Amino acid sequence: MKTPIYFDYSATTPVDPRVAKEMCRYLTMEDGLFGNPASRSHVFGWRVEEAVLEARKNVAALLNADSREVIWTSGATESDNLALKGTAHFHAKKGKHIVTCKTEHKAVLDSCRQLEREGFEVTYLVPEPSGLIDLSKLEAALRDDTILVSIMHVNNEIGVIQDIRAIGELTRSRGIIFHVDAAQSAGKVAIDVQDLDVDLMSFSAHKVYGPKGIGALYVRRRPRVRIEAQMHGGGHERGMRSGTLAPHQIVGMGEAFRIAREEMAAENERIGWLRDRLLHGLRDIEETYINGDLKRGVPHNLNISFNYIEGESLMMALKDIAVSSGSACTSASLEPSYVLRALGRSDELAHSSLRFSIGRFTTEEEIDYAVKLLHEKVGKLRKLSPLWEMHQEGIDLESVQWAAH
Amino acid sequence: MAYSKKLIDHYENPRNVGVFDKKDQEVGTGMVGAPACGDVMRLQIKVSDEGVIEDARFKTYGCGSAIASSSLLTEWVKGKTLDQAAEIKNSDIAEELALPPVKIHCSVLAEDAIKAAISDYQAKQQSDDGREEEVA
């Protein structure tokens, strides 16, 4: 077993060696596959155009979509921007109201902020403590001038799966466009766009063992969804996203999504088993709190707060394992996780949270190592913590007058 | 974020962790910060009759920099008079540990903690004097 051990698959995944091998063929002179897929006049262009189409089919297949519904982008952030701004700008005459949720990714929230500056009005739903959206609250937020609802499929911090089928039923019947950020769900949760009333869906390759810098936006053809381009140029991607395609990246994403479709079921089972082993191993540590509803989440994620210990100091102690934290000290803003706070978690517990995300290359041995290390380090840091001492003495921390700074 | 060797040493091998009886007449206790802000520091000093800090203890809830700042502080105050200890600046701590800019507040908290511990000790002595006068 090599250390440090990677437990941050929700941040990014390593490229699968099978994917990397395929990508390399599209870079150098050797295989003659370096061409511009938009070159219509020679075989260098044709070959690569074919490879791009093959990749498009592989991405579409994971969603049960038509390959013509897949628009290449630079990643999920761009897909989110294109979906939100593209929809808002195209349909601004119809209405100016958008509904989203407070626990969305920043790519959605910051796009909404920009649209607010442009005169759109945005409703930010507060999720239930489980992390899930109450559908009746969503329905109540919909208005005659609502043009777009944007809700993520799987949350990046706590892993809960939103009921996008039910949300789609609400939006479709009202003629509202429904965008889903599926960056964290592709390859983890089965997606069938024929069976869902989803109009736009964002994807990223690097969360699915593909390369960074490539993503896709699914844009429904029936009923046809129209968006305004954000990037103008050569009219690539049916005018929705101009710019020379990056075949090595695209082929990588295609291969990654092909593998995901073939191996998802078996992989989920194995990862679920590992997550349960981790959870079981940590269960006897006192004062730990699971963030998000595990029964309604993907098996890849475990977000857990170790009360009375600050998350960053715990990560520093766990230098042999790579995890992430909702602690303010790990973010530039000095604010603890906005996702955990939106769930109603106290600032203290948000500061004390760690996110373990498990993936394709995680082993049983690595899980056992992490469990052992956590027992040791949580104990050490609690011995250092005045809050733990007060808790042991039965002092209610809520009753203390803190000198906030 | 890369931390200095000194910081990591104080974090991994914190000095003077523990607790004195805060009711003890020769002990001054300073507790600063708040759980909601992500750091709480408790610094205690034991002061001799001559006004010299003989020993110090701390416990800190916070990031690695906060733990290292308080550990360093306990080393620095030992042997100092109260006046000398009160002169320790957050910038001295930040410099010694090479704190990155986003962690400067940890050293500010440490300076607040020693100031709070000193004033707690001084308040105790005054009220003690008061009691003695009453008895007399």
pLDDT at A326: 79
Q: How many CB pairs under 8 A join A and B?
A: 87
Interchain contact, A310 vs B109, CB within 8 Å = no
Which residues 307-346 of A have a C-beta within 8 angstroms of B?
308-310, 312-313, 316, 327-329, 332, 334, 336, 346
- Residues above pLDDT 90, as percent of chain B: 86
Chain B residues whose CB is inside 8 A of the A348 CB are: 35-36
Separation in Å, CA of A352 to nearest CA in chain B: 8
Q: Which amino acid is at A193?
A: V
Mutation target among B8, B31, B61 for the A interface, most CBs of A within 10 A: B61
Separation in Å, CA of A299 to nearest CA in chain B: 29
Identify whether B58 is part of a domain. Answer: yes
Per-residue confidence band for A328, with pLDDT thresholds at 50, 70 and 90: low
pLDDT tens sequence across A333-355: 667 888 999 999 988 899 999 99
Say if strands A321-322 and B27-34 run parallel, antiparallel, or are unpaired. unpaired
Separation in Å, CA of A279 to nearest CA in chain B: 24
Query: A384 in contact with B at a CB cutoff of 8 Å?
Result: yes
Interchain contact, A389 vs B38, CB within 8 Å = no
pLDDT at A313: 92
pLDDT at B136: 42
pLDDT tens sequence across B23-77: 999 999 999 999 988 899 999 999 999 999 999 999 999 999 999 999 999 999 9
Active site residues of A: 329
User: For the whole model, what pTM was predicted?
Assistant: 0.92
Chain B residues whose CB is inside 8 A of the A318 CB are: none
Separation in Å, CA of A397 to nearest CA in chain B: 9
Name the active-site residue from B82, B97, B106, B118. Answer: B106
Q: Which of A313, A334, A383 comes nearest B62 by C-beta?
A: A313
pLDDT tens sequence across A310-320: 999 999 999 89
* pLDDT value at A292 more than 70: yes
* pLDDT value at A327 more than 90: no
Average pLDDT over residues A32-43: 96
Average pLDDT over residues A103-109: 96
pLDDT at A210: 98
Identify whether B136 is part of a domain. Answer: no
Q: What CATH number did the domain enclosing B80 receive? A: 3.90.1010.10
Q: Work out the mean pLDDT of chain A and round it to a whole number.
A: 95
Angstrom distance (rounded) from CA A317 to CA A314: 5
* pLDDT value at B129 more than 70: no
CA A163 → CA A191, A351, A357, distances in Å? 12, 28, 22
Name the active-site residue from B19, B34, B37, B123. Answer: B37
Structure tokens belonging to residue B62: 């916070």
Angstrom distance (rounded) from CA A199 to CA A257: 20
Angstrom distance (rounded) from CA A367 to CA A400: 38
Separation in Å, CA of A402 to nearest CA in chain B: 5
Closest CA to B116 of B82, B92, B93, B78: B82
B37 is catalytic: yes
pLDDT at A325: 87
Residue A375: count other Cβ atoms within 10 Å of its Cβ: 14
Query: A347 in contact with B at a CB cutoff of 8 Å?
Result: yes
pLDDT at A405: 57
pLDDT at A110: 96
Alpha helices (H) in B78-103, listed in sequence order? 82-86, 90-97
Separation in Å, CA of B132 to nearest CA in chain A: 30
Identify whether B41 is part of a domain. Answer: yes
CA A183 → CA A3, B78, B96, distances in Å? 28, 54, 43
Q: Which of B17, B38, B109 comes nearest A329 by C-beta?
A: B38
Structure tokens belonging to residue A112: 């909404």
Q: What is the 3-state secondary structure (H, E, C) of chain A?
A: CCCCEECECCCCCCCCHHHHHHHHCCCCCCCCCCCCCCCCCCHHHHHHHHHHHHHHHHHHHHHCCCHHHEEEECCHHHHHHHHHHHHHHHHCCCCCEEEEECCCCHHHHHHHHHHHHCCCEEEEECCCCCCCCCHHHHHHHCCCCEEEEECCCECCCCCEECCHHHHHHHHHCCCCEEEEECCCCCCCCCCCCCCCCCCEEEEECCCCCCCCCCEEEEECCCCCCCCCCCCCCCCCHHHCCCCCCCHHHHHHHHHHHHHHHHHHHHHHHHHHHHHHHHHHHHCCCCCEEECCCHHHECCCEEEEEECCCCHHHHHHHCCCEECEECCHHHCCCCCCCHHHHHCCCCHHHHHCEEEEECCCCCCHHHHHHHHHHHHHHHHHHHHHCHHHHHHHCCCCHHHCCCECC
Task: Find, in chain B, the residue whose alpha carbon is nearest to that of A311.
Answer: B63
pLDDT at A403: 74
Please tell me what DSSP assigns to residue B81.
B
pLDDT at B135: 47
Identify whether B117 is part of a domain. Answer: yes
Interchain contact, B102 vs A332, CB within 8 Å = yes
**Type and span of the H or E element at B45:** strand B39-47
For residues A305 and A352, the answer to whether their CB atoms sit within 8 Å is yes
Q: Which of A309, A388, A404 comes nearest B37 by C-beta?
A: A404
* pLDDT value at A165 more than 90: yes
pLDDT tens sequence across A208-220: 999 999 999 999 9
pLDDT at A332: 59
Domain range for B23 is: 5-131
Please tell me what DSSP assigns to residue B95.
H
Per-residue confidence band for A8, with pLDDT thresholds at 50, 70 and 90: very high
pLDDT at B48: 95
ipTM of the modeled complex: 0.91
Angstrom distance (rounded) from CA A171 to CA A147: 9
- Residues above pLDDT 90, as percent of chain A: 93
pLDDT at B69: 97
Q: How many independent structural domains does chain B possess? A: 1
Say if strands A324-325 and A353-357 run parallel, antiparallel, or are unpaired. antiparallel
- The chain B residues in contact with chain A (CB within 8 A) are 3, 11, 14, 17, 19, 31-42, 59-64, 66-67, 102-103, 105, 108-109, 112
Identify whether B32 is part of a domain. Answer: yes
Chain B residues whose CB is inside 8 A of the A387 CB are: 35, 40, 61
Query: A199 in contact with B at a CB cutoff of 8 Å?
Result: no
